[in-house]
Chain A
Amino acid sequence: MSIIEDVREIIASHGKLPVDVATLADDADLYAAGLSSFASVQLMLALEERFDIEFPETMLNRKTFASIGAISSAVAELAPQERVA
């Protein structure tokens, strides 16, 4: 499974979005789609657990979690190489 598919699945289960994640493009604005501050925190924690990563403080901002594509890039940057492969 690719990172982006994993990310979509985690958003579906932790993002508490009022819309179906499948209808969102990779670059769609998740905040505009209804992602709340609290849900973005839960999403962040779920991503860390699934990919065994820790977001550094510099990445703990809205931009990192703004879209499925942005989240996937951040995860790819932080995930151990063998897991990305």
Chain B
Amino acid sequence: MDMQSSLLDRLLAAGLLIDTGIDGLYGRSGAFEDVIARFEKLIDVHAPADARPEVIRFPPGMNRTHFEGSGYMKSFPQLAGTVHSFCGCELDHANLLQCIAEGGDWTEGQKATDVVLTPAACYPLYPVIAKRGPLPEGGGLFDLQSYCFRHEPSKDPARMQLFRMREFVRMGTPDQVTEFREDWMERGQALISAVGLDVELDTANDPFFGRAGKMMGNSQREQKLKFELLIPVTSSAKKTACLSFNYHQDHFGTTWGLTTHDGATAHTACVGFGLERIALALFARHGLETADWPADVRKALWG
């Protein structure tokens, strides 16, 4: 048995995750959810006290027009999930039922709706903020959390298809957003150390699609646009990215016409926390029974 399936099997056997029959799609127990809720509170404790981000919670679906405008399909077509619905008449419905009864592909007639599953918590944010007009003088700071979808079925519990991402997003001048990112790289390491996990900060790249993607990824790495905090989850040799620190330069600013108070194209950066991955890292490191976790870790999370 490899390490990945063994952690997943242990989580399922302990009832922390609940099998749905689909790889990467799991129910979560109360104990699992409690760890995520407590960790989110700890994120708030480690956030700069005077920052006062605007809190926004989007549902896990986003405006399809905004999704198209974001350029996501240029980079990650293989990961996207679109929402389709039945839009036919009564006859179409009768044919649909017959097709299902015969075990045929009933989804062929489904039509795309105006909703796309959110691929990252911050994607719905940029067009909404751009629509408000220029940013205030100090720029913008936002606190987001959403379930996100990525189509990559896997037995690796750290690679779920539907998972939650907590994010802080900074918008403003290049200095404002790079300072924000530097600050969170420090805070993120302190936060993870506080719950007894080993951390390693490394440059990274997103899984852009195809050969063109290879070039995008190399470019992202060379420019140090993405850093990740790697934590052992299913393996201590091949660690899992649990936090990421991304500098988008003017990509979203240009895409959405987002400007600073004086009319310059805004730069953006975000820090993202993979909440399930962090919970998994905690269970993998400290055991499946939270009551048995080390006292300092319990104190950090439960007070």
Contacts and interface: CB of A to CB of B under 8 A. Distances in A.
The 6 closest A-B pairs by CB, nearest first: A60-B215, A41-B212, A61-B218, A60-B214, A62-B222, A62-B219
Given A38-B71, A38-B74, A45 B212 contact: yes
B218 A62 contact: yes
A69 to B, nearest CB: 19
Contacts of A37: 215-216, 219-220
Interface residues of A, number: 12
Contacts of B71: 38
A57 interface: yes
Contacts of B215: 37, 40-41, 44, 60-61
Contacts of A60: 211, 214-215, 218
Given A57-B211, A62-B222, 17 more contacts: A37-B215, A37-B216, A37-B219, A37-B220, A38-B74, A41-B216, A44-B215, A45-B212, A55-B211, A57-B214, A60-B211, A60-B215, A61-B219, A61-B222, A62-B218, A62-B219, A62-B223
Interface of B: 71, 74, 211-212, 214-216, 218-220, 222-223
A37, A57, A63: residue with the most chain B Cβ atoms closer than 10 Å: A37
B219 A40 contact: yes
B212 A44 contact: yes
Interface secondary structure of B, over-half rule: helix
Contacts of A41: 212, 215-216
Nearest to A61: B218
Interface of A: 37-38, 40-41, 44-45, 55, 57, 60-63
Nearest to B213: A41
Contacts of B211: 55, 57, 60
B180 to A, nearest CB: 22
B203 to A, nearest CB: 14
Contacts of A40: 215, 219
Nearest to A45: B212
A81 B218 CA distance: 29
Contacts of B218: 60-62
B221 to A, nearest CB: 9
B158 to A, nearest CB: 26
A38 B211 CA distance: 13
21 contacts: A37-B215, A37-B216, A37-B219, A38-B74, A40-B215, A41-B212, A41-B215, A41-B216, A44-B212, A44-B215, A45-B212, A57-B211, A60-B211, A60-B214, A60-B218, A61-B215, A61-B222, A62-B218, A62-B219, A62-B222, A63-B222
Contacts of B74: 38
A45 B222 CA distance: 20
A13 B220 CA distance: 24
Contacts of B216: 37-38, 41
A26 to B, nearest CB: 22
A44 B216 CA distance: 11
